[in-house]
Structure 1
Amino acid sequence: MDEDRVGLLHGVLRSMTTLTRVFAARGTHPFKDRALGRREMDVMFFVSQPGTMTVRRLAEALGVTSGAISQVLPKLERIGLIAVDVDPLDRRHRLVRATESAAAEVTAFQDEYVRTLLPEFHPLSDSELVELDRLLAKVHSAQGVGDGATAAVLAAESAAVTPAAGRAVAAEFAAEAPSG
């Protein structure tokens, strides 16, 4: 293993952790009044994007099986965070979407996350933020998760010069936040 490269990566991860802690100190995460596990929180961040997603596509995006996703959907539906419908074009598939209130809660959390971290990124120009976003997307796509669904969702939610910047990081933080 190239020790210089290992040292560089340690520095990058240290910086990312420091950024996450800036927000974590606030103790904020969505759905505080509900006990959601990491997988459930991951599902919520993906299905809170505009439109619907099939169970299969959601599983591919998260790098898990459709069965794993199917196990968490009943609870999320029962507590009113998602709606699951039969695909009218292909009745073999189920379409998953966040309820309006759940999507609004995720969006509000993500926007707060971005506003909180915005001062930390002040030293970077807009073009540097675009480059950072591109580099992180490159690292992510190299992981080979699913068929690119994850990269597509992350790209859609993280245009680097818009308020949506950082939503992928916000989702990761919330998934790690203590529930309840």
Structure 2
Amino acid sequence: MTDRRLAVAAWEALFRAQHEMFARISDDFEGAQLTQAEYDVMLTVARAPEMTARLRDVTANMLISQPSVSRLVDRMVSSGILSKCADPDDGRGSLVTATDQGASAFRAMAAAHARTIAEHMSALDDDELATLKTLSDKLRSSLGDDGDLETGETDTTHAD
């Protein structure tokens, strides 16, 4: 059995580090073309083939409720960042696709955001970063998370 005190201490350290890091990298979105929530949507869309993702996949990757994601996506469609159409494989679902404007805004934001993340993560060396990723993936996998644990280079943070 796992040492409970150590497990709690490790969780608290992980949670606090994530929370503090998230606060620091959130500054990237002040005055940016995309809000942090829009960036999160675009991250899922940009990683999908042909920059088109099922709305349910976008929702699954977000940390907000399905109705909130739907409203956010609708605002992004209205602002020209995404287009939306019925999913031909699922009559109840929708597909969202990055527009040229959205893809351009995402690429610019992703580059800047990745620099900020790398800067803050530079407290760890490459071996430590690889270990952190492996351990984080293992934790997520143990929870039954069906997210993409094999993603290579990340353009985000936020992430989870």
TM-score, reference length from structure 1 = 0.64
Secondary structure at the residue paired with 1:165? coil
Gaps of 5+ in 1: 173-180
The offset of 1:79, in angstroms, is: 0.7
Distance (whole Å) between structure 2 residues aligned to residue 86 and residue 44 of structure 1:
18
Candidates 18, 23, 29, aligned match of 1:16: 18
Greater RCO (Cα-Cα under 8 Å, separation 6 or more): 1
Separation (CA, whole Å) in 2 of partners of 1:41 and 1:139: 25
Match of 2:134 in 1: 134
Q: Residue 44 of structure 2 aligns to which amino acid in structure 1?
A: F
Q: CA RMSD in A?
A: 3.4
8 A Cα contact 1:46 1:58, kept in partner: yes
The separation in 2 between residues aligned to 1:120 and 1:63, in whole angstroms, is 23
Task: Map 1:11-160 to 2 at 5 A.
Answer: 11-24=13-26, 27-29=27-29, 32=32, 38=37, 40-51=38-49, 52-62=52-62, 69-88=69-88, 90=89, 92=91, 93-122=93-122, 124-145=124-145, 148=146, 151-152=147-148, 155-156=150-151, 159=152
The amino acid of 2:59's aligned partner reads A
SS in 2 for 1:46: helix
1-structure distance, mates of 2:154, 2:116: 12
Q: Provide the rounded CA distance (Å) in 2 between the counterparts of 1:166 and 1:58.
A: 16
Determine the C-alpha separation between the residues in 2 that align with 1:97 and 1:112: 22
Is this contact kept in 1: 2:53–2:96, CA < 8 A?
yes
Structure 1 residue 23 displacement after superposition: 3.1
Question: Counterparts of 2:119 and 2:19 in 1: how far apart (Å)?
Answer: 16
Structure 2, unpaired ranges of 5+: none
What amino acid maps onto 1:48 in structure 2? A
Secondary structure of the corresponding residue to residue 144 of structure 1: coil
Q: 1:143 Cα deviation (Å)?
A: 3.6
Deviation of 1:69 after TM superposition, in Å, equals 4.1
The answer to which structure has the higher strand fraction is 2
Aligned residues with identical type, % of pairs? 21
Query: For 1:33 and 1:166, how far apart are their aligned partners in 2?
Result: 16
Normalised by the length of structure 2, the TM-score is 0.70
Displacement of 1:80: 0.6
How many residue pairs were aligned? 155
Return the offset for 1:115: 1.6
- 1:45/1:171 contact within 8 Å kept: no
Distance 1:100 1:7, change over 3 A: same
